[in-house]
Every structure is written in structure tokens, then in C-alpha cells.
A and B are shown apart, each in its own frame.
Chain A
Amino acid sequence: MNVIWNSLGWFGEAGRWSGPDGIPTRLLEHLWYSLLAFGITVAIALPLGLVLGHLRRGRTAAVAGFLVMSSANAARALPTLGLLILAVIVTTAGDLVPILIPLVALAIPPVLVNTYAGVQQVDAGLRDAAEGMGMTGRQVLARVELPVALPLVLLGLRTALIQIISTATIAAYVGLGGLGRYIVDGYSRQDYDSMAGGAILVIALAIATQLVFAALYRAVVSPGVRPQAPRPRPERPGTKRRAPSAPPARKETLP
């Protein structure tokens, strides 16, 4: 513990808060790479997941569903560090593009799977009711399926962004800027304080991301579709069973 405590002095060293290797610059770099990769991921995976989840009947839908589900397992098995190094050695493109490819590729499955599963699991009765009211397929997707699937969609987005933030840290090893520089450069200089400082910053960034998503959840998910914490017990006024500080949804807080 003492070592960690001592390393906090790193934050107060001269020049730590300014210049190209200062914390603000590195943080902005990290955010920029992460949000860029996240934007590309969402642009690809979100519409794809929505459409695949919406088409739930027929052979193509079944095959697509199987592929989507397996992609999640496959992505978990892929070692990020290896992909990053391989991408940088093999490609001839500029500096950022080879790094963005693995970042995006690894973030697509969580968004895709959760969006797909969320839309696909929408109650068939609800869908039928929407169609019975005269909604077109597109309207059903936008006004019924998406709002109901939103908790899972947000879970997917959050998983993807956190995954991107941690992979971007590792990408410092292949030359990317950002907070990972403190860890990688600190390791090569045998400077533990710099490594610990970088680790603390990255951890703080990941936790902040999670808090942002928790706030987003409260803001955009309709209270009617939030899964309730203990399912079997009916809620009764006056019972103290549910702690008031309980997280809004069990699913949402799961990784």
C-alpha cells in the first residue's frame, strides 16, 4: 500500500499537468481515439443488430442469429495485444488506422449481440399489438422494439466503450498516445510511479464511463421496461424488502 501511496507524488511532479506528455493532453488523446473507435463501432454494429433482431423468422434470420451469438464468444477468446501488434506489423497504412481496426473489431460483438438479443427478445404479443395498431415494420422497430430493448442495447454500448478504453491503453505498446503511454514508458524506464499513475488514471476513466452510462440509463430508459431486481416477490407498499439504494436493474449492472 505504501508504494501506491508514494506513487501519488507522481501526480504533483513538475510539468505533469502541461505539455505533450501532460495528463490533460494524454487524457484528450485517449478520449479521442476511444470515441473515434466507438463511433465507428456503433455506426456498424447498432443498425446491424437492430435489423437482424427485427427479422426473427425464417432460415436467414436463424443463421444470422447463430453467427451473431458465436461472434461474442469468438471475440472474447481473441487476445487484444496480439491483434494490435500483428495489425501494426502487417499493415502499411498510416499510424492510427492499423490500431483502429482491432479496436473496432473487438468492440463490435458486444454491441451487436446485445442489440440483437434485446430486439429479438421483445415480447411477441407486444409486437403483434403494434402491428395490429397499423404500425409498419420500421415503426415497430423504432417505437416499440428499440425502447423495450434499450437496457440491453445500453449494456452492449457500455461494454464496448469500456473494452475500447482498455484496449486503447494496451495500444500504447504499439505506439499509440493516450494514458497507456505512462504505463508502457514507465515500464521501459523502470519507473513504477509513472506506471501506477497511468493505471490510476485509466481505472478512473473506466469507472467514470460506467457512471456516465448509469446516468444515461436513468435518463433514456423508460421506467416501464426497467427489469425489477427480485422477480418472484410482488412489491408491497410498506415492506422494506427492496433497499432504496438498489441499482436500477440487475441486467444493467452486469458486465
Chain B
Amino acid sequence: MTALSAAAADGEPLVRWDWISRNLDGSIAEAFREHLVLSFTPVLLGLLIALPLGLACARWSRLYPVVLAATSVLYAVPAIGLFVIFVAFTQLTYTTVIVPLALYTLSVLVPSVVDGLRSVPDHVRQSAEAMGYRPLRRLLGVELPIALPVVMAGLRVATVANISLVSVGALIGIGGLGQLMVTGMKWPGGGFTTPIVVAIVLIILLALVADLLLLLVQRLLTPWARAGRGGGRAARRAAAAKGGGAA
């Protein structure tokens, strides 16, 4: 520890640009590609499972408390703990990281889907029924679009959390950009900050871009929300109130 702490004293710059330019096409690009796979696959998997599960929970209200209790316990479990447990089932592969992160995504998205569907006003549902909408068409054409802002808020939370959680996988050797952090930590002579800073900056940028892209998708999918001013504010606040997740 003391040896590590001494590194800052001898005027070593925080970022060495020459290291970055030398490794941009090599280890940085490789880590970034791995990070993309490890963070977005779980989002897709989680969404694919959360939609039907959320629909089932909204329909059969007996089911929801059980699922909610399971997801909230799951969400509290530290990611590193789940990764280690999954090593027993999957060995050390991408799946070891992808499955736990998909479970996290699921635990964020299921409540979002249910809340979103519950936010559909009763009179809207009845109007659709009176207009002759069959249940499936009513779901796809009326209920899901109204639920979309709440679902998207959950999706944004899950995506951003996943992007930063992937780096924890570096502790078991599968961490995307987290691998660069480990490289920096293990550097001979008390650590090397450049790869760590590169990893942190890329993760934050990736999270920011993903968040903005999802926001854009939401705007494109809900043109009616733009007609009224500040329509997304309630959804945003609800998302923020859900707070940070477990690392």
C-alpha cells in the first residue's frame, strides 16, 4: 500500500498520451469491444424476459408481490457475488457476466413495465375497448405506447448501471474496460494511472451516449409527448428516485 501511495509523489502525470496512442488499436479497442458485448447483451436479454413477465404481473396481481420480492432481493445482491456464484455453472466465459447482469436488468425492468401498464388510465382502456379493440391489439396499440416512458426510464437506468457494472467482472478476469483498470493496478512499480483513466472516461462516455440514444428512441416513439410541455419530467423524476444500484 505504501509503495502504491508513493507513486503520486514523483511527478508522474495522470495520463500519458503516448501510451494511449500506442494501445488505441490494440488493448483499448479490444477491451472496448468486449465491454460493448458484455453490457448490451444483458440489456437485450433482460428486456426480452421482462416484457412478458411484466405483462403477466400486471394481469395477475397475485403474481406481482412474489416477483417483486424476488427482484428486489436480487437487486440487492452485490454483482461480484453473483459473478463468482455463476462461475460454478458457466466456467469463466462471457456468460458468467452476462447472466447476472441480465438478472439485474430484469429486476429493474419488471417493476417499470408493471408501473407503466398501471399508469394507463382506466377510461383510456375502456375507450379502446368501446372502440372495438381486441385485447392484443389494445395492448400493442394503446397500453404499451402509454407505458413506454416509464419502461424507457427503467431501461435507461438498467443500461447505464450495466455499463459501469461490467468493469467489476475484471476481478474474475472478464471485465471489458475493467481489464484496463487491472492492468493499471498491476503495473510494475506501484501502478500506472493512464489505462485506469482511459477506462473510466470511456465507460462514462459510453453510458452517456447510450442514455442519450435511448432518450432519442423514446422521443421518436412517443411523438405525442412532445406536443405537451415537460411531459417526460415525471418519468425522469421517478427514474432518479429509484436511486443507484448495487455495485
Contact = CB atoms under 8 A, between A and B. Distances in A.
Contacts of B200: 78-79, 82-83, 86
A207 B240 contact: no
A202 B203 contact: no
B171 A254 contact: no
A91 B193 CA distance: 12
Interface string B72-86: 110111111111110
Contacts of A163: 244-247
Given A95-B1, A155-B243, A79 B203 contact: yes
Nearest to B85: A199
A73 B78 CA distance: 19
A184 B182 CA distance: 12
Given A92-B6, A169-B81, A255 B160 contact: no
Contact of B107 (A77, A86, A90, A255): A255
B68 A253 contact: yes
Contacts of B161: 76
Which bracket fits the contact residues of B?
Answer: 35 or more
B22 to A, nearest CB: 20
A75 B244 CA distance: 7
Given A91-B5, A245-B65, A198 B84 contact: yes
A113 B204 contact: no
Given A85-B196, A91-B8, A255-B76, A73 B160 contact: yes
Contact of A89 (B8, B82, B163): B8
A133 interface: no
A60 B1 CA distance: 43
B168 interface: yes
B21 interface: no
Interface in A110-166: 110, 113-114, 117, 152, 155-156, 159-160, 162-163, 165-166
B211 interface: yes
A69 B240 CA distance: 6
Nearest to B65: A246
Main secondary structure of the interface of B (DSSP, over half): helix
A232 B73 CA distance: 26
Interface stretch (A20-28, A170-178, A217-225): A170-178
Interface stretch (B26-34, B134-142, B184-192): B184-192
B37 interface: no
Nearest to A107: B244
A169 B68 CA distance: 26
Interface in A229-251: 229-232, 241, 243, 245-247, 250
Nearest to B171: A173
B204 A78 contact: yes
Nearest to B88: A3
Contacts of A81: 167-168, 170-171, 175, 178, 181
A198 B85 CA distance: 10
Nearest to B207: A77
A174 B118 CA distance: 45
Given A69-B237, A110-B243, A255-B76, A250 B167 contact: no
A92 B87 contact: no
Interface of A: 1, 3-4, 7, 69, 72-73, 75-83, 85-86, 88-93, 95, 98, 106, 109-110, 113-114, 117, 152, 155-156, 159-160, 162-163, 165-167, 169-170, 173-175, 180, 183-184, 187, 192, 195-196, 198-200, 202-203, 206-207, 209-210, 229-232, 241, 243, 245-247, 250, 253-255
13 contacts: A78-B164, A81-B167, A82-B200, A86-B196, A89-B185, A109-B244, A152-B241, A175-B1, A199-B80, A231-B118, A241-B61, A254-B111, A255-B76
Listed from nearest, the 5 A-B pairs whose CB atoms lie closest are A166-B78, A77-B207, A199-B84, A110-B243, A89-B191
